[in-house]
Structure 1
């Protein structure tokens, strides 16, 4: 080996076959170094000083006979490439320029480089905790449940690459794995293609080099039959193909391949595309910002004589899916685990090929550092040599199952789901299951079904009543007055802790409401488990109506439901609407039966589970320190529980790389439409109650975003609001979770506010709000800095149309893993422009509009229309207003008073709602009403009829035709706002309901139009 890289043992391998039959060469560098954290065994004195332990060349010698690629599911007997010759102490050389880690979007941040980050070899160790903690992180109940507890061989992985002229060239592959027999040592393996060659190594070849270099076959996790050359044919061979495949699969080396932002690294391997080769990208799933495997995949191949076989079982983990919120850069993870990320000095970061060529030693230290961080970070969080959960949020769901099972007194996840969510394993035979097109994807994808018809009806209604967060801009404009951004403390955990459990086994539905007005007695408390399809009218004095209608891809809160049939809503918002004096008519609704504990108290599984996570987070904060990775992990876990209860409730689609098609995501271990819908309803009700009371008391609300709002009322004044009676319940939940009854906390304060649209506001005060509403700041601008604020402010107040705002886009997982026309991880530039206009979720009060001059730091002033808003009378008004604004945005914008007056003229004197084909509107309204469970048409409810037969029957009524897509989409929540009022449907609805299931309409049944 050249003196340019001392301490490394080197040999050369060949992998893949060129068109001329030759095999590309790769240099493999191997060394053992002391681990720089306190995770592994204590190193010796020599190791602690930074000495490296070279690997003898003989220990990694290539066995006689090259290896032959074969699919993980097959033992191929195809011809293999010829045996390559080793070239010891020889470096690969080339002249190609190399790219930089800036191509990884997760590491492209505006923050300054980590100060003092240096080579591991230069220092020998990093700062370790001065005092060992009194309790292991893994011993905390939540963490024990979140983790897998399974031993594993965790291999950290990273790449360096060049992208020039639309082509990516891989310059190095780096792997780090703890020595299986001495955990104080890290085995580092670097695989170097010839510089600029474009050659790529296969995943199996690379991983087997790691197996041999680290002697992973000596691990207790690997069967005794496995050695450096793999498994002898005699150990497993059988004339029966299936039998020998399974035998070899058991003689595997189990590897957990861990990386950071796998989209960049896992796409760097050679994939030939031959039928017998495993395409590992098709075994991956995109989750939580990273690429992972849900189940391990096999990789197997034999040498050219088929006497020795290499067998791997590979699980993939991505630290992007294990990093606490806001701490997802690799530098953050390195700081957390005591392995500071190394930075490249000077301008070398843009000339990394030259850096490798002229400074190979430093180049290797830089590259290996990233792989080391991945291993040490996962060891810090989940313990050394332990298989991490697939994602941090998935681990949080597992913790909830564990604590919830204990709370409910059951011993299995299956029994927990039965009591918590009303689900059981699907019975394929001997049971009348729900017809396929009526199943909810969250349970159908997991082979589950409701325990009975009542459970099915109740959870389906809750899924329809599930809506997103409350986001609005009630007061666009410029306000040079003191304001404060107030957040609901732990809004979603608090809401979860307020939700009662339903007694699914005793019959989920306790009472049915049908075609009658609702009263406060029907929804006596905010936690009443009521879900209903309602129409409504709020008093004109109510500034913020509480019942949402999905329209135009968002939530609109009109004063009345006039013009639409109604909307699905849940108990907390229904309760608040009735408290505010709304008249609410229920077409169909259900009151759930409350589950009781052994002592007769209402059951709250989520309160118990979230409290356990919070208790463990507090312990972690005390033992490991505030802001520690342990505390951050549990904080993220707490906040992840809600998302897992809501997973696929609003049906989501993701790319299935193995099937090469988009499919339903499927539910999590704790998905429950009831708990998810009521949690979000609680949060929206809390915010709406505060907004209305603040307005009643003469205060102003300028913006509301998911779990907080900006107001001119002081935080302590907000804290004492009773929220019409809701505050007591929320304080009780806060006490149960944290011991602190306060429910609000100030977040930002500012003396000036430019409020331009939902999720769009900025103050020039450092520490004030700065929300871009999707406008991306130029590279190099530090978020929330004075420069960032000026950039956003200038864009808002000087615009005369859409704001040009191009950005760099990286390929999607679908583009990276599709078999046809697959893309490499190469960025592309997207040209776009962004509208910063007010989104008109509420109606502008034109009489209140004034022209305010907004000052910029350069002394110039620019006009911005400033005005109050009120709820739209109807959804149709909102849709028409938003449509006019969209048309105006094509050639201008809505910034000045004059521009808003032009909009108002078009709105005031424009046309109303136009139905081009009234028959089609009636037909689709009938289909939507039936599919949404608002009405039932017996012919369509008949499970003996196929969907095709139902569509044919609908087409016989003379109203038009319904496609399969129309039928499937009719149950989507947003379709409810397209449903005509039921009294307009009555003539046809009555005739359809009266028709026997076997009959078909004739001219006698059809109405003339």
Structure 2
């Protein structure tokens, strides 16, 4: 139990703006205490567990944010003005219907704050006052929404903050609880045990706002209770003064939603995990269900994880003696390979294939149905003691537990190379390189005819008769489908299945978080079921299935973007049927049949007419589908105003992208960190900072076919750059492009808004790559091509042998021809080329840089003067001919 707080049993608070006060007395004889660890008499069942559920919330007015442009640095967090504290109390007893709730509100004195201990005493006393025949249990679940915001509003927060744990950036109690002592004047002292929970950690990921939780509970939402648009923080004081009943009804509903949701989750946790306790997170329920299933299947406790229990003896400085402790460790064969396999664990595939406005058409947003849970269902019990080196990639099957480091090169014809390469800026999928990956992607690379060289690998045989997660996933899907879509039970079971995968990967990437108890940065610990072999397979299998589908789409199908388990493209349902004919998609559909009785692999989530995109996870909708609400929107790390609905956010993002300027900054708000709150003794709040708008391409692909497009958005015409993309050649090319873009925009901000913008950057890339004579001089591209053409003439290269057999040119005549075609040249330049040839100074071709005007001049020379001219000789082989001119070079990309 953590730090103790104390309060009197007689508590008085102001409950109206006019100053009316109310006093309650907590009758300690009506609070039932049961000593921790006591057992019932032999032969008798244990008494039912019971708790008080107290939902709580605090309303406040934050300091006013700075105006855009006021300050380029982060703003200093200030104190919030606390307006009220709300509570909702109900009693829950194991095996019984929950009792009726009561709600209440407390107002601090002007400029003051209320302490947690007397606040809870007031809430309990109010409940006891309302139900005179009831007793209150001493164990309490205190439940809020985003508790780092609400719990820190109490006056005594500094007294108990070290007892709180931090999970997903919010406060809970984990290994120890809060203790509050109720001290009456003439009766026994009573201790309350407080467990802090946050409903955001217990709600489905996409339904975690208070209004979304209210909706799935079928409770009045905050808007409905308020009867109008929700007030902004800055207007709350005015609302209290003008319409107190309206404010009160809205404010207490927030606390009531928290308590009601906790009550429902408590019941489900008891049914599923066999424990009448409120878990800290929803995933902890799923984890326990998995462990229970393994126990039922009579697996050895640690067998599925490749672990064993050992005893370790170490010296304990506190007790000054040696202590023996049991701990779980990987068996030797697994331990030797854990780091290598962890390196093969990557996240989802996220790429933007098109920049700017896409062509208008019918764009379908496809999602792979229950991707991660379906992949989990394929994992069977490994025979860990038979783990061995992988020696032959040809034997690898898509569903094997095999992991390898391979050197690879895909054919030029592959549109979407499929082997992941990790960089400091996320995953990329280049045409060649080195990848640490898993069996599904190895099998797909072979299917795509990639050249593979095995550097290192391991494989683990499995017992196909002993699936590890299939039963759990089947239960989740069956229960999910038994309830109406969008209902609490439907969403609960969906989240339970989807989120349990996260426990398999927890702690694999060494990420440090702040621990308020130790006041240090600590690594996130592994979960009870963390297993890198499984996490790597699941993510690899999902990427591989998506990659196979993309590569089997007809060439004429445009693919706009891919995001983990979904992609946006112009494929018809017939096209998609063909794309699902590969072996990986076949294994996925078979797994779906085994799980749910049908092989529906893909779901169409949206159909729109025209998307617009800028970078990974950054896209919006120019023209929606048949319904105005049918849009796709990914904000790419940019925050739209919170008061906006989805359509307004889409409009905001499109306007921001189309109207952006090179030097544009935006004011972005971020929550101050928990470490700041504790170390600097400040309230929860927002920090505001000005940063450069980041809506340019991220270079995870290579631009091609760049052009200016005229589009219309909500009746207004715009012109904007658009381009397609082709795969990167290598990790080195990715790093080079990002580095060159950073250097290009460092001192003189630039954006890619027109075709000319794109051409100028490509010229810059050419110049930087060549880095030779004239590389950075004015008209350096023309000066370099002049030297190369003169060298080719005297050396009879580039088809000049054939040209000169039909017509002879003096040095002066050749110089005049080049000058007339836009390449300033003197006869001395040709004479110098001839002297260099005699001296053996042979100039390398393809060093002129592929600027648009160099390509244009070469084509004009060929068309109008030298029909046999071999243009390819003068263009770099690794830089394709990007052009918007139909009469010039082909569009192969800036590779």
The TM tier, using the shorter chain, reads 0.7 to 0.9
Q: Structure 2 regions of 5+ residues with no counterpart?
A: 30-47, 65-77, 271-275, 316-324, 772-895
Cα pair 1:154 1:387 within 8 Å, conserved: no
Q: CA deviation at 1:188?
A: 3.4
Cα pair 1:552 1:879 within 8 Å, conserved: no
Among 669, 684, 707, the alignment partner of 1:850 is: 707
The yes-or-no answer on 1:453 pairing with 2:339 is: no
Q: What residue is the counterpart of 1:257 in the other structure?
A: 142
SS of the counterpart of 1:266? helix
The yes-or-no answer on 1:337 pairing with 2:217 is: yes
Q: What residue is the counterpart of 1:757 in the other structure?
A: 615
Q: CA deviation at 1:360?
A: 4.6
SS of the counterpart of 1:831? strand
Which whole-Å deviations, capped at 9, do the CAs of 1:95-142 have from their partners, x for residues lacking one?
A: xxxxxxxxxxxxxxxxxxxxxxxxxxxxxxxxxxxxxxxxxxxxxxxx
Q: What residue is the counterpart of 1:157 in the other structure?
A: 56
* Whole-angstrom distance in 2 between the partners of 1:740 and 1:307: 66
Which whole-Å deviations, capped at 9, do the CAs of 1:203-226 have from their partners, x for residues lacking one?
A: 22322333444349997885xxxx
Structure 1 residues 754 and 346: alpha-carbon distance in aligned structure 2, compared to 1, 3 A threshold: closer
The yes-or-no answer on 1:319 pairing with 2:199 is: yes
Among 420, 435, 459, the alignment partner of 2:304 is: 420
* Whole-angstrom distance in 1 between the partners of 2:742 and 2:661: 14
Q: What residue is the counterpart of 1:551 in the other structure?
A: 423
The yes-or-no answer on 1:520 pairing with 2:409 is: no
Structure 1 residues 61 and 466: alpha-carbon distance in aligned structure 2, compared to 1, 3 A threshold: closer
Q: What residue is the counterpart of 1:746 in the other structure?
A: 604
1:470-509 matched pairs, under 5 angstroms: 470-478=349-357, 479-504=359-384, 507-509=385-387
SS of the counterpart of 2:279? coil
SS of the counterpart of 2:458? strand
* Whole-angstrom distance in 1 between the partners of 2:85 and 2:422: 49
- Structure exhibiting the larger radius of gyration computed from Cα positions: 2
* Whole-angstrom distance in 2 between the partners of 1:551 and 1:327: 33
The yes-or-no answer on 1:880 pairing with 2:736 is: yes
* Whole-angstrom distance in 2 between the partners of 1:754 and 1:29: 52
Q: What residue is the counterpart of 2:473 in the other structure?
A: 610
Which whole-Å deviations, capped at 9, do the CAs of 1:450-483 have from their partners, x for residues lacking one?
A: 3421111233322110001111122334312332
Cα pair 2:182 2:190 within 8 Å, conserved: yes
Q: CA deviation at 1:731?
A: 0.9
Q: What residue is the counterpart of 1:983 in the other structure?
A: none
Structure 1 residues 210 and 28: alpha-carbon distance in aligned structure 2, compared to 1, 3 A threshold: farther
Q: What residue is the counterpart of 1:117 in the other structure?
A: none
1:627-642 matched pairs, under 5 angstroms: 627-642=486-501
Cα pair 1:288 1:320 within 8 Å, conserved: no
Cα pair 2:511 2:524 within 8 Å, conserved: yes
Structure 1 residues 56 and 208: alpha-carbon distance in aligned structure 2, compared to 1, 3 A threshold: closer
Structure 1 residues 772 and 611: alpha-carbon distance in aligned structure 2, compared to 1, 3 A threshold: same
The yes-or-no answer on 1:570 pairing with 2:433 is: no
Q: What residue is the counterpart of 1:801 in the other structure?
A: 662
Q: What residue is the counterpart of 2:111 in the other structure?
A: 197
Among 257, 264, 268, the alignment partner of 1:380 is: 264
Cα pair 1:152 1:387 within 8 Å, conserved: no
Among 638, 643, 655, the alignment partner of 2:502 is: 643
Structure 1 residues 874 and 390: alpha-carbon distance in aligned structure 2, compared to 1, 3 A threshold: same
SS of the counterpart of 1:427? strand
Cα pair 2:362 2:608 within 8 Å, conserved: yes
Cα pair 1:694 1:701 within 8 Å, conserved: no
Cα pair 1:324 1:629 within 8 Å, conserved: no
Q: CA deviation at 1:258?
A: 0.6
Cα pair 2:12 2:23 within 8 Å, conserved: no
Structure 1 residues 168 and 772: alpha-carbon distance in aligned structure 2, compared to 1, 3 A threshold: closer
SS of the counterpart of 2:567? strand
Cα pair 1:400 1:610 within 8 Å, conserved: no
Structure 1 residues 894 and 669: alpha-carbon distance in aligned structure 2, compared to 1, 3 A threshold: same
* Whole-angstrom distance in 2 between the partners of 1:882 and 1:662: 31
Structure 1 residues 610 and 557: alpha-carbon distance in aligned structure 2, compared to 1, 3 A threshold: same
Among 692, 697, 700, the alignment partner of 2:551 is: 692
Cα pair 2:226 2:247 within 8 Å, conserved: no
Q: What residue is the counterpart of 1:701 in the other structure?
A: 559
Cα pair 1:151 1:387 within 8 Å, conserved: no
SS of the counterpart of 2:735? helix
Q: What residue is the counterpart of 1:1001 in the other structure?
A: none
Cα pair 2:145 2:210 within 8 Å, conserved: yes
Among 422, 446, 449, the alignment partner of 1:581 is: 449
Which whole-Å deviations, capped at 9, do the CAs of 1:556-614 have from their partners, x for residues lacking one?
A: 222222xxxx33211110111122222222222111121x2xxxx34321222111111
* Whole-angstrom distance in 2 between the partners of 1:552 and 1:343: 47
Moved more, 727-736 or 540-549: 540-549
Structure 1 residues 752 and 659: alpha-carbon distance in aligned structure 2, compared to 1, 3 A threshold: same
Moved more, 286-295 or 261-270: 286-295
Q: What residue is the counterpart of 1:811 in the other structure?
A: 672
Structure 1 residues 302 and 213: alpha-carbon distance in aligned structure 2, compared to 1, 3 A threshold: closer
1:65-104 matched pairs, under 5 angstroms: none
- Alignment RMSD (CA, Å): 3.5
* Whole-angstrom distance in 2 between the partners of 1:800 and 1:202: 49
Among 175, 178, 202, the alignment partner of 2:87 is: 175
1:250-329 matched pairs, under 5 angstroms: 253-271=138-156, 279-288=159-168, 290-301=170-181, 308-329=188-209
Q: What residue is the counterpart of 2:281 in the other structure?
A: 391
Identify the structure with the greater strand proportion: 2
The yes-or-no answer on 1:790 pairing with 2:651 is: yes
* Whole-angstrom distance in 1 between the partners of 2:62 and 2:314: 59
Cα pair 2:11 2:118 within 8 Å, conserved: no
Q: Structure 1 regions of 5+ residues with no counterpart?
A: 1-13, 18-23, 31-54, 64-148, 223-252, 274-278, 432-445, 914-1009
* Whole-angstrom distance in 2 between the partners of 1:301 and 1:491: 50
* Whole-angstrom distance in 1 between the partners of 2:11 and 2:63: 22
1:222-237 matched pairs, under 5 angstroms: 222=137
Cα pair 2:560 2:569 within 8 Å, conserved: yes
Which whole-Å deviations, capped at 9, do the CAs of 1:311-353 have from their partners, x for residues lacking one?
A: 2211111111122232222222223334313216689765433
Q: CA deviation at 1:732?
A: 1.1
Q: What residue is the counterpart of 2:762 in the other structure?
A: 904
SS of the counterpart of 1:686? helix
* Whole-angstrom distance in 2 between the partners of 1:305 and 1:668: 47
